[in-house]
């Protein structure tokens, strides 16, 4: 999941590790945190696989700020390497990353994967990069999500009234209502995608 996030963000522009960490949080929300201790190993794996490559400061177009404390030994060591330029100037190195052709192909594969796990974070991540899919693939992604939500809702309705205390019943009712709301939202997205696809098809036929 982290590799999908990294490749998706680097598809837009080269980024430093610190900026990548910041943008993952901005894309997925404050509760989907990523530590430097998990980010830098993922970057090394992708670089070793040839999916990303290191670029210099002049190739990124990014202004790098000071890298903060990471909270982990592995992340701290990686961040320290970014803080210091070889030669002892004491300034942070401008090491950044960009996606390669291999990474573009890997990103497309991860984004369109038909694994259908009932995972809120993975769906949110894929939806954040949904613009990179063609219309049919976007609709397929949303329909898979709709099937997951419909199944969850059916189970919630079957279990309704089986709990013995009002607090558990209230929690289950809240979850059911949230699932109903999410299902309505996904239905609206599917409807909009199909309308856009139909309009594009009609425009192409009349051209």
Rg (CA), the chain: 22
Task: Tally the C-alpha atoms within 13 A of residue 22's C-alpha that lie toward its C-beta.
Answer: 10
32-58 pLDDT, tens digit per residue, is 667 788 888 999 999 999 999 998 755
Task: Tally the C-alpha atoms within 13 A of residue 195's C-alpha that lie toward its C-beta.
Answer: 6
HEC profile for the chain?
Answer: CHHHHHHHHHHHCCEEHHHHHHHHHHHHCCCCCCCHHHHHHHHHHHHHHCCEEEECHHHCCCCCCCCCCCCCHHHHHHHHHHHCCCCCCCCCCCCEEEECHHHHHHHHHHHHCCCCCCCHHHHHHHHHCHHHCCHHHHHHHHHHHHHHHHHHHHHHHHCCCCCCCHHHHHHHHHHHHHHHHHHHHHHHHHHHHHHHHHHHHHHHHHC
Q: Model-level pTM? A: 0.73
105-146 pLDDT, tens digit per residue, is 999 999 988 876 667 888 888 999 999 999 999 999 999 999
Give domain 2-110's CATH number out of 1.10.10.10, 1.20.120.640, 1.10.150.120, 3.90.190.20.
1.10.10.10
More confident residue, 34 or 180: 180
Q: What is the pLDDT of residue 71?
A: 44
Whether 75 shows a pLDDT value over 60: the answer reads: no
């Amino acid at each position: 999941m982290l590799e999908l996030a990294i490749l998706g963000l680097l598809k837009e522009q080269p980024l430093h590790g610190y900026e990548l960490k910041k943008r993952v949080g901005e894309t997925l929300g404050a509760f989907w945190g990523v530590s430097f201790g998990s980010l830098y190993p993922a970057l090394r794996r992708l670089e070793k696989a040839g999916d990303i490559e290191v670029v210099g400061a002049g190739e990124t177009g990014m202004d790098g700020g000071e890298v903060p404390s990471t909270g982990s030994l592995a992340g701290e060591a990686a961040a320290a390497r970014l803080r210091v330029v070889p030669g002892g100037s004491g300034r942070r190195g401008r090491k950044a990353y960009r996606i390669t052709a291999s990474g573009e192909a890997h990103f497309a594969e991860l984004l369109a994967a038909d694994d259908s796990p009932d995972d809120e974070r993975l769906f949110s991540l894929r939806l954040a990069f949904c613009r990179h899919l063609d219309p049919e693939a976007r609709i397929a992604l949303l329909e898979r999500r709709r099937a997951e939500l419909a199944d969850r809702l059916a189970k919630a309705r079957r279990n309704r009234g089986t709990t013995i205390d009002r607090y558990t019943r209230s929690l289950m009712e809240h979850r059911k209502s949230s699932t109903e709301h999410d299902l309505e939202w996904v239905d609206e997205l599917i409807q909009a995608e199909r309308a856009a696809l139909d309009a594009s098809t009609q425009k192409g036929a009349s051209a």
